[in-house]
Structure 1
Amino acid sequence: MKPDRKFQSAPVKKIVDEILQNTLKKAKYDPEKVPVLSAKIGNEILAAVKKLEYERYKIVVDVTIGEFKGQGIRVASRSLWDTTTDTYTSASFRNAHLFAVAIVFGCYFE
């Protein structure tokens, strides 16, 4: 079985970029609030991607937020999946106080 419509990275990336921008453009880093903020953003991204109705896809969202002090950062992940049906997209955001990276995985479930 293959999906009728494959998970498309471009529209998902647009959604993630908009959510990160709208939620974090004026945000300041607060280590007490970051766990709640990460969960809120992750849930918002998940709800928006589910509206695209990719049938039989499991959607996994990972949001990382950290304090920005001029450093570089790399976020990496590894997965075992079917390269013909599964894919991901990622987006990042940075302001003077914090950085955020969101990764959305679309894994086809037979």
Structure 2
Amino acid sequence: MAGAAVADQSATFQIRPDLKDKFRSSLVREVIHSTLVEQLTGFVYSAEAGEEMTKSLSDLLRSKLLELNLPRYKYVVNIVIGEQRGEGVKVGARCLWDADTDNYASDVFLAETFFCSAAVFAVYFY
């Protein structure tokens, strides 16, 4: 009997999330998009305002992600806001992670005078 109890206890440890608790990039992309549209519509770009907006957006996105209640996920939120001057901008990232559990979602908001690139990286904590 004691052996059966030990086997049952070891079955409770998971190194992978349940399917219902897995990070879904399409859902998070919608959250990012709606947040950017809601917060940046009517925003007037300046270097100082951009700095404050990046902090505000990253905190807001993080709190909305926590409301999704995905257990054991840790989030990294990266926001880039810059002035539109006609030049091109490329934003990139590299990550070392578990392709089965970890993922990311991103979106871009474009206005006449500025752009905003938002990326959320979700890492499953074993």
- Other-structure match for 1:90: 106
Aligned equivalents of 2:109, 2:50: Cα separation in 1: 15
- Other-structure match for 1:16: 32
Structure with more contact order per residue of length (Cα contacts < 8 Å, sep ≥ 6): 1
Structure 1 segment 13-92 matched on structure 2, within 5 A: 13-92=29-108
- Write the letter of the residue equivalent to 1:73: V
1:83 partner SS: coil
Aligned equivalents of 1:10, 1:16: Cα separation in 2: 10
Please, what TM-score do these two structures have when normalized by structure 1? Answer: 0.96
2:81 partner SS: strand
Structure 1 unaligned segments of length 5 or more: list them. Answer: none
Alignment root-mean-square deviation, CA: 0.8
Please, what TM-score do these two structures have when normalized by structure 2? Answer: 0.84
User: How far 1:71 sits from its partner (Å)?
Assistant: 2.1
Identical pairs, percent: 34
Structure number having the greater helix percentage? 2
User: How far 1:109 sits from its partner (Å)?
Assistant: 0.3
2:117 partner SS: strand
Quick check: which has more Rg, 1 or 2?
2
How many pairs are equivalent?
110
- Other-structure match for 2:16: 2
Aligned equivalents of 2:106, 2:125: Cα separation in 1: 21
Aligned equivalents of 2:110, 2:39: Cα separation in 1: 12
Aligned equivalents of 1:50, 1:10: Cα separation in 2: 16
Aligned equivalents of 1:53, 1:70: Cα separation in 2: 40
Deviations 1:60-104 (A, max 9, x none): 100000001122211100111001100000000010111000000
Post-superposition, which runs of at least 4 consecutive aligned residues in structure 1 deviate over 2 A?
none
